[in-house]
Amino acid sequence: MTFIEWITEMPPISSEWKSVVSSTIKLSRNIKDIPFHKNVSIQEQRTINKLVDESISLWNKENDNTFLVCPLTTLTNGDIQALREYGIDIPNIEHRESQKLYLSKDRLLVILTNGIEHITLWGISFEADITQIWDKLSRLDTWLAQKISFAFDNEFGYLTASPLIAGTGMEIRATVFLPGITNVNQMDNLSGKLARSGYKISKLRNHFYFIENSFSMGLKEETFCNRLEEVQKNIEFIEEKAWNSFYDINQQQIKDKIWRSLGIFSYARSLNYEETLECIAWLYIGMRFNILPIKDRLLFYKLLRLAGPFYVEKKIHKEEMSENDINTWRAVLIRDVIKEMSL
């Protein structure tokens, strides 16, 4: 498997329709007796890579879900941006010679060395069940901890360069799509409920939002995951009720937006990022709520990934394209996806 194959092929997608589009768990780990990244020497960075290389080499011998190793110097800026579009927030660090990525065969686990922390782990899920990806990530974290001495304090927990994530070293983020709650103006109420549970919500665009934990100390990792899962269930209930209320009053306008968006995707010769996201949002509504004659969650994710300009570049194997060229190729690729689904 090559990096291009890893980043362009689709990960496992559940067929169950939920408001949760994706969930990401990020764990930050540092190695005992090695300074944080701002004070670490080149030799110490090499030591970090050596320890992780040895651990992952053993993992690959004993596990089917093997890792592809990619030094960051072998990746282009477009490759790194495509990873960010996927949900892997690679930090902006000037010198990348010491950084390595490890990408799992199932496309759900990623490791980075020598970022803001010595070792960063990501687990990605395209389902609402965040405990499932936590189980995968926790197993990897435990494996590494058995072979590498992490910096840990009995009082404070895992020691991190960023004080905001000290303790568990965990950051959880869910991307959710909430057209019902948005349109009936219940977002402020939801935001207050989330804050009381230790989470904050911020808007992306077109009814897409981020939900993320606002602290990481004082609770176990499993507790954070369980809390978010409960939050997601509550959001699901509120969203369905809000959507039904909104749809009852605005059926004709909603159906028009959905079919109009399908027409744009079927025939447009140029699609910019904003228009693509807006049309995707309406098609998501059409598929989830049985307004369109197809209910394919994989189609939604194919379209969502094509919104990203760097993913478009990866799909057609070109770098540093102009915005106009990206918009043209995005329209071509989206038309192909729509044709495949016989819509």
Which residues does the annotation place in the binding site for ATP? 22-26, 171-175, 195-200
List Cβ neighbours of 295 (8 Å cut-off, separation of 6 or more): 17, 287, 288
Q: Are 304 and 243 in contact (CB under 8 A)?
A: no
Which tokens go with 253? Answer: 């306008």
Which amino acid is it at 307?
A
Indicate the annotated binding residues.
22-26, 171-175, 195-200
- Lookup result for tokens 């209930």: 237
Task: Quickly list DSSP for 168-221.
Answer: T-EEEEEEEE-HHHHHTT-HHHHHHHHHHTTEEEEE-STTEEEEEES--SSS-H
Q: Are 84 and 173 in contact (CB under 8 A)?
A: no
Query: d(Cα 335, Cα 337) in Å, to the nearest integer?
Result: 5
